[in-house]
Structure 1
């Protein structure tokens, strides 16, 4: 019997965009090359072929091809007639994953002595699931149980073959058989759909030094490394792989003069790359040879004006009597990065150090990779872009800055949105901070990318972070004053989650100080307004969800403190206490049902949620923004009808809607301590002292109020 898809062009039927000279696989072929498809830039090269040749049984091979064709062409008339067939077209990457799993499943069926899928029983499916649920071959993830997400991919084709049985030409499951009846594939695989994001954030002790290092590398070292990298490429392009056969006598005078110059000026000879040193050792060079680390070819080529970069051992031996005495006195150093420009250390901007010690060519290339890793980490951390969106970045992605009202500039990155879109993605824009914009431009320069060429090479974020961490923790990074990065997991999803939580919780630390959360929030919100429903809109929605949860948690903590007798302080304390008393009264008036405890907790949470909607976090206080006309910041700014408080004009010691809690005590103590230092300094100007004294006294009053409220509760507990 002939297959209904026989002779069809797979890519054309699937509607994939094709390159003009790419292959067009036909259904009848057992290998479908997809190298002619216009893939997104981040797609792995190994998915660009669907290989059915590994299926031992030819009849099952045809069944596998029909199933995969139905997944990528769901609107074919024969597929539309199937009531349980999938209606969304599968992308080539998903088709590749399912093809791999089909090969394994069908060969398992054959190995069990069955010649057709018609003989498959539930026992075979259970055995297959048990075998595949454990990783036996060691890889970078190690051995052990397979994750539920991977099991979902493994088992879905096993189950789906039942839904497509009427389509298959050469055999299928029995009409009355469906693997694991009454259970979904997710149930069998152990997969759970989480109502909230399950990805954890990057631990703060890892995140802070990582972003600080990436910022320093991009902002301070980036242009210097790019310049030295371009110089290294030019030097290597000007050399030849050919080797001189002999030391020409006509060059001896020039060689001797050059060596004398090195001696007189105390300039080290050029070092050889470590890989070439290893090759010399493998050829029998002694580890203590004075010329082991000397780049003789570079020296000879520069002195003689030739393009020789590599020397035979025979020619090096002819040089030895001249080179050894000089090498013993001046030593060797890398050719690049000599006389390096001074830059401020990361931990002390007043202390200037050379940005690098001399580097060999390979060391320059390694540093280039570290800078590329820093660029990608920084863009991901500041924008929340996913891996596929970063992969689509090109040299043309950084768009010209746009000047907005007030003279400020907005920076945008053009790319493609991949997740949740049709195959190939759709054009998208991200409004980002200037450091992220500059990081993409730097990455394109380091990769020598132009026009539509990729700015970032496709590399896993955890691998890039590992390379960045290794360099930061090495002597090179520590010399520049970078804080060591502890070991810990970091990937793109975790960075996106960390950004969302940082914007929602507004913590202290790096993002609050160096990146300014307010600015991140502004550009993210602007990106949402510019492209509703776009990628930044999704990120902003996640931020708002986390912010609501965090505000509810803080309101609960304040309510629990109130019940424990730890009353809030500040001008708005009385109003907050009244609000909590009102909540208590409503709880007492409410008659709980059968599940009294659970219902009371839900009732309390609903009441507190109404209060938490008015909470706005400030550095040293909580702002309960219930009535705009009472807000001191809006009165000072002359905007009484605003819908949000102006954090930059907050004066919580006088605002009737501000409260102080024990968590704010360190901030106020720090203000008092800093002020006392200036007031006790005899050199501090008297006029400034008169201005500062009321500020310190007011901060001290706030400290006393918080301590008094806390102490009162402690005294009551003791009594």
Structure 2
């Protein structure tokens, strides 16, 4: 049922004056930055608060609903959250944490209220929130949030509950009663946090080639690329140091040139190209005045450049009236004055001379035609970069392209260039290539740092120059922790030397005064610190795959890779190491004063489906490596194992030996340890290593499966129910002997006790008999391992 709004629109707050600074209670305000006041209705920019580098300015502000009532409510809630110790809140009986919510958190609440306001306006809901029924709130969740993940719905529920939490400081009253009493936000959203990390990992098939490609750019390609960048910058700097003059200087030079009686003004002897006889040859005068640097001193090229050239013409015409001229036939004025065109200026050439220069350049086999980026060699020859080609032929300061016209000569010149490209004489356009390679280096440094430090995107992009340091004697990097840290304090992350090299390369690449990760050049559209990491990752993967024929790098399988996925993936790998959870808690910055890790840490380190097989392969490899010595002993004819599965174990080892000795595919190869490990891994793929025995897993003969329900049998060995002395899958080697001998000694000592109950004594004797069947075989058969 829909009801029309009845309450009047309230635009002024009963609790907070319009001129009240919004962030006045913050301890970290930027000096001199404008602080928004409560009366600003559209938005509150966060320019006075330190903005994380990876946040765009448009994301660093609070935006409020257009509806006046909802606008005021949202502003009052936001103000309360940003000023938790404000006297008005204390007087209203609202006592909150001393540390205010971060701007990003308050923005989420405002977004939730924005959605609620839009729905309420559309449905004509009452202005008085207390007139809403439970069905109305349910209708909002069903209508507006249908299809949204339950975890997101939980955030909207939390935003609505702020109207109840701050009802005492909301003009006209907020929500007097909680719409969902006795339920948590998650329960209302029907969301049960599982503790399982939802962040996907980078698959092993993508992870390893991606890291290898990133390291190749850092270690092999980056030094040459950065050297090229520096050489180009030096060349451009030298080119920019030409003797340039301002407009005022040119005016002064013109006056001085006209005042010198030795200087004669060239004029047309006869009418020439629309100019009357006696008219100054303006280009010649310009070259004479500027020393050959410019022929355009008197040209009115734009609306803003008409007054000064006209005034200069008047000065010359006045001088002409006073005499001091020289009559010139045609356009040879500069030659008559003895003026040479200075380097860096362009002089028109006859078409025949241009064609001859192009043909001579193209006929030289050492000259390569610059082309645009090749997407794929299979697509055929790329189109020449015409402007670059003109500069290559006529010099770096050529200002007119001779290829882009529609005339017959231009068509012919383009055809000559395309023929050279088709013949294989081309190179990728240098400037575009350099910018692309610089971006590839930046992306490689980011990827490698993110993957091996487990830092968040915000933390990586906060790395500043000079951040490499030592922490408890180990290499570390200093940055700012942004998440759940309003003070954005500096902390340290341990790193390895290759990561330190990646950060050093990124620091050399960056033009920014403080930050390591910034745009490639200061004149780009986004010229501040920070990068679009997701786009850089996509760019890196795409270009590695497109240019494999040039770089020799392996292909990176297609997968959407985002910054937070590196943190998750490396956590999975690190969690498999001894004390991995403690290390993760410290590196992920989950460590607290009372614990070195928390539930979130375990979620990050939990193996997902992408990595299960990868670690299974690692277990197979570890098992195979342990069997190399057994293979060598078996080749000497020794018995290397006992137990019910020993004959099968020996037979498989003999098969590997025979394969190495007789198989044609191994002829001419040295059977080194790597080859042996590879064969053993394939042969003993189902071998499970153990402390007291090994399991040659075979479901049909496994004793442990008898302990399971029929529907659960045959999937994997049940280690806790293993019976090493009885199971037909059990293999024991000399490495297992100390454990069995120790148990035998322990059982014998226990039987010496006089106070053992008869049932207990009987069980121990039965176990001792079972153990001795193993130890006696160790002693009798002389196992060599």
Same structural fold, with TM-score higher than 0.5 when normalized by the shorter chain: yes
Equivalent-residue separation in structure 2 for 1:98 and 1:63 (angstroms): 12
Residue 60 of structure 1 is matched in structure 2 by 70
Residue 84 of structure 2 is matched in structure 1 by 74
Equivalent-residue separation in structure 2 for 1:250 and 1:361 (angstroms): 29
Conservation of the 8 A alpha-carbon contact between 2:370 and 2:385: yes
Note the C-alpha offset of 1:68: 0.5
Note the C-alpha offset of 1:67: 0.8
Q: Secondary structure at the match of 1:32?
A: strand
Equivalent-residue separation in structure 2 for 1:312 and 1:76 (angstroms): 71
- Distance change (3 Å), C-alpha of 1:3 and 1:14: farther
Q: CA RMSD in A?
A: 5.7
Note the C-alpha offset of 1:539: 9.9
* Matched pairs, number: 545
Q: Which of 487, 494, 500 does residue 558 from structure 2 map onto?
A: 487
Note the C-alpha offset of 1:396: 2.9
Residue 36 of structure 1 is matched in structure 2 by 48
Q: Secondary structure at the match of 2:494?
A: strand
Deviations 1:394-452 (A, max 9, x none): 233234x7996xxxxx432111112232x241101122112222222223333433434
Residue 136 of structure 2 is matched in structure 1 by 124
Note the C-alpha offset of 1:331: 2.9
- Distance change (3 Å), C-alpha of 1:539 and 1:477: farther
Is 1:472 aligned to residue 474 of structure 2? no
Residue 323 of structure 1 is matched in structure 2 by 413
Which segment is superposed worse, 668-677 or 120-129?
668-677
Flag the structure with larger Rg: 2
Is 1:265 aligned to residue 365 of structure 2? yes
Conservation of the 8 A alpha-carbon contact between 2:167 and 2:174: yes
Q: Which of 435, 455, 474 does residue 365 from structure 1 map onto?
A: 435
- Distance change (3 Å), C-alpha of 1:504 and 1:532: closer
Equivalent-residue separation in structure 2 for 1:667 and 1:86 (angstroms): 70
Q: Which of 397, 400, 403 does residue 307 from structure 1 map onto?
A: 397
Conservation of the 8 A alpha-carbon contact between 2:390 and 2:398: yes
Residue 468 of structure 2 is matched in structure 1 by 398
Equivalent-residue separation in structure 2 for 1:705 and 1:92 (angstroms): 54
Q: Secondary structure at the match of 2:552?
A: coil
Deviations 1:61-80 (A, max 9, x none): 22221110111111113324
Conservation of the 8 A alpha-carbon contact between 1:266 and 1:330: no
Note the C-alpha offset of 1:297: 3.4
Equivalent-residue separation in structure 1 for 2:516 and 2:231 (angstroms): 21
- Distance change (3 Å), C-alpha of 1:309 and 1:122: farther
Q: Which of 453, 474, 479 does residue 415 from structure 1 map onto?
A: 479
TM-score computed with the length of structure 2 as normaliser: 0.56
Equivalent-residue separation in structure 2 for 1:55 and 1:359 (angstroms): 51
Note the C-alpha offset of 1:155: 2.6
Deviations 1:445-479 (A, max 9, x none): 334334345458655655444333322332x1254
Note the C-alpha offset of 1:161: 0.3
Unpaired stretches in structure 2, ≥5 consecutive residues:
1-11, 243-295, 302-343, 520-528, 627-638, 641-645, 689-693, 704-726, 729-785
Equivalent-residue separation in structure 1 for 2:406 and 2:684 (angstroms): 76
- Correspondence list, 1:221-236, <5 A: 221-230=221-230
Note the C-alpha offset of 1:133: 1.5
Equivalent-residue separation in structure 1 for 2:227 and 2:581 (angstroms): 33
Residue 327 of structure 2 is matched in structure 1 by none
Residue 108 of structure 1 is matched in structure 2 by 119
- Distance change (3 Å), C-alpha of 1:207 and 1:248: same
Deviations 1:148-188 (A, max 9, x none): 23223323221220121111123323x3x322232222222
Equivalent-residue separation in structure 1 for 2:430 and 2:423 (angstroms): 8
Residue 440 of structure 1 is matched in structure 2 by 503
Residue 568 of structure 2 is matched in structure 1 by 497
Note the C-alpha offset of 1:25: 0.9
Residue 512 of structure 2 is matched in structure 1 by 449
Conservation of the 8 A alpha-carbon contact between 1:500 and 1:540: no
- Distance change (3 Å), C-alpha of 1:249 and 1:618: closer
Q: Secondary structure at the match of 1:13?
A: coil
Equivalent-residue separation in structure 2 for 1:488 and 1:683 (angstroms): 38
Residue 220 of structure 1 is matched in structure 2 by 220
- Correspondence list, 1:166-565, <5 A: 166-173=168-175, 175=176, 177-230=177-230, 248-249=348-349, 256-257=356-357, 259-271=359-371, 293-301=383-391, 304-305=394-395, 307-308=397-398, 311=401, 317=407, 320=410, 323-324=413-414, 326-331=416-421, 358-399=428-469, 410-421=474-485, 423-452=486-515, 454-455=517-518, 458=530, 462-474=534-546, 476-505=547-576, 533=592, 542=601
- Distance change (3 Å), C-alpha of 1:220 and 1:673: farther
Conservation of the 8 A alpha-carbon contact between 1:396 and 1:450: no
Q: Which of 1, 19, 26 does residue 37 from structure 2 map onto?
A: 26
- Distance change (3 Å), C-alpha of 1:181 and 1:502: same
Residue 98 of structure 1 is matched in structure 2 by 109
Q: Secondary structure at the match of 1:331?
A: helix
Conservation of the 8 A alpha-carbon contact between 2:345 and 2:397: no
Q: Secondary structure at the match of 1:270?
A: strand
Note the C-alpha offset of 1:203: 2.2
Residue 755 of structure 2 is matched in structure 1 by none
Conservation of the 8 A alpha-carbon contact between 1:417 and 1:428: yes
Note the C-alpha offset of 1:384: 0.8
TM-score computed with the length of structure 1 as normaliser: 0.61
Deviations 1:677-710 (A, max 9, x none): 9xx99998xxxx9x99xx99xx99x989979963
Note the C-alpha offset of 1:532: 7.0
Equivalent-residue separation in structure 1 for 2:661 and 2:471 (angstroms): 41
Equivalent-residue separation in structure 1 for 2:203 and 2:655 (angstroms): 27
- Distance change (3 Å), C-alpha of 1:219 and 1:302: same
- Distance change (3 Å), C-alpha of 1:261 and 1:546: closer
Equivalent-residue separation in structure 2 for 1:268 and 1:41 (angstroms): 42
Q: Secondary structure at the match of 1:93?
A: helix
- Distance change (3 Å), C-alpha of 1:521 and 1:712: closer
Equivalent-residue separation in structure 1 for 2:44 and 2:515 (angstroms): 28
Which segment is superposed worse, 200-209 or 64-73?
200-209
Q: Secondary structure at the match of 1:169?
A: coil
Q: Secondary structure at the match of 2:566?
A: helix
Conservation of the 8 A alpha-carbon contact between 2:54 and 2:461: yes
- Distance change (3 Å), C-alpha of 1:682 and 1:159: closer
Equivalent-residue separation in structure 2 for 1:152 and 1:248 (angstroms): 72
Residue 630 of structure 1 is matched in structure 2 by none
Note the C-alpha offset of 1:330: 2.9
Equivalent-residue separation in structure 2 for 1:530 and 1:115 (angstroms): 45
